[in-house]
Structure 1
Amino acid sequence: MEGSSVPPSSSTVSRTALLVLRVLTFVFLLIALILISIDKESEVLENGDRLKIKFTDLQTYRYVIASIVIGFAYNLFQMVLSIFNVVSGKRLINGDFSYQLDFFGDKIISYILATGAAAGFGATLDVHSAFSDFIGLPFDRFFNNAKASASLLFAAFLFTAVASVYTSYALPKKASLDSSTS
Structure 2
Amino acid sequence: MAPPPSTTVSPATTLIVRVVTLVCLLISVIVIATNNPEVDGGKMKFNDFYAYRYMLATGVVGIAYTFLQIAFTIYFVSTGNRLGGNGLMFLDFFGDKALSYLLATGAAAGFGLTVDLNRIGFESDVKDFLNKANAAASLLFFGFIFSVVSSIFSSFSLPKSS
TM-score by length of 2: 0.90
Provide the secondary structure at the position in 1 that maps to 2:37: strand
Provide the secondary structure at the position in 1 that maps to 2:10: helix
Cα distance in 2 between the residues matched to 1:97 and 1:91? 10
Identity, in percent, stands at 44
Provide the secondary structure at the position in 2 that maps to 1:90: coil
Provide the secondary structure at the position in 1 that maps to 2:123: coil
- RCO higher in 1 or 2 (8 Å CA, sep ≥ 6)? 2
Cα distance in 2 between the residues matched to 1:57 and 1:37? 12
Cα distance in 2 between the residues matched to 1:43 and 1:145? 15
- Following superposition, the deviation at residue 51 of structure 1 comes to 4.4
Which residue identity is paired with 1:41? P
Cα distance in 1 between the residues matched to 2:146 and 2:19? 9
**What residue in structure 2 maps to residue 42 of structure 1?**
38
Which structure 2 residues correspond to residues 28-39 of structure 1 after superposition, within 5 A? 28-39=24-35
Cα distance in 1 between the residues matched to 2:57 and 2:29? 10
The number of equivalent residue pairs is 155
- The 8 Å contact of residues 36 and 65 in structure 1, kept in 2 or not, is answered as yes
**What residue in structure 2 maps to residue 142 of structure 1?**
129
Cα distance in 1 between the residues matched to 2:67 and 2:136? 19
Cα distance in 1 between the residues matched to 2:26 and 2:18? 12
Cα distance in 1 between the residues matched to 2:80 and 2:147? 22
Cα distance in 1 between the residues matched to 2:56 and 2:152? 25
Which residue identity is paired with 2:84? I
- Following superposition, the deviation at residue 158 of structure 1 comes to 0.3
Which structure 2 residues correspond to residues 133-172 of structure 1 after superposition, within 5 A? 136-138=122-124, 139-171=126-158
RMSD over aligned CA atoms reads 1.5
Runs of 4+ in structure 1 deviating by more than 3 angstroms, as ranges, are none
TM-score by length of 1: 0.80
Cα offsets for 1:46-82 (capped at 9, x unmatched): xxxx243110000110100110011111000000001
List alignment gaps of at least 5 residues for structure 1: 1-9, 45-49
Provide the secondary structure at the position in 1 that maps to 2:44: strand
**What residue in structure 1 maps to residue 44 of structure 2?**
53
Cα offsets for 1:152-175 (capped at 9, x unmatched): 00000000001100100111xx23
List alignment gaps of at least 5 residues for structure 2: 1-6
Which residue identity is paired with 1:71? G
**What residue in structure 1 maps to residue 118 of structure 2?**
128
Provide the secondary structure at the position in 1 that maps to 2:39: strand
Report which of the two structures shows the higher radius of gyration computed on alpha carbons. Answer: 1
Provide the secondary structure at the position in 2 that maps to 1:93: coil
Which residue identity is paired with 2:135? A
**What residue in structure 2 maps to residue 107 of structure 1?**
97
2:54 paired with 1:63: yes
- Following superposition, the deviation at residue 29 of structure 1 comes to 0.5
Provide the secondary structure at the position in 1 that maps to 2:157: helix
Cα distance in 1 between the residues matched to 2:139 and 2:60? 13
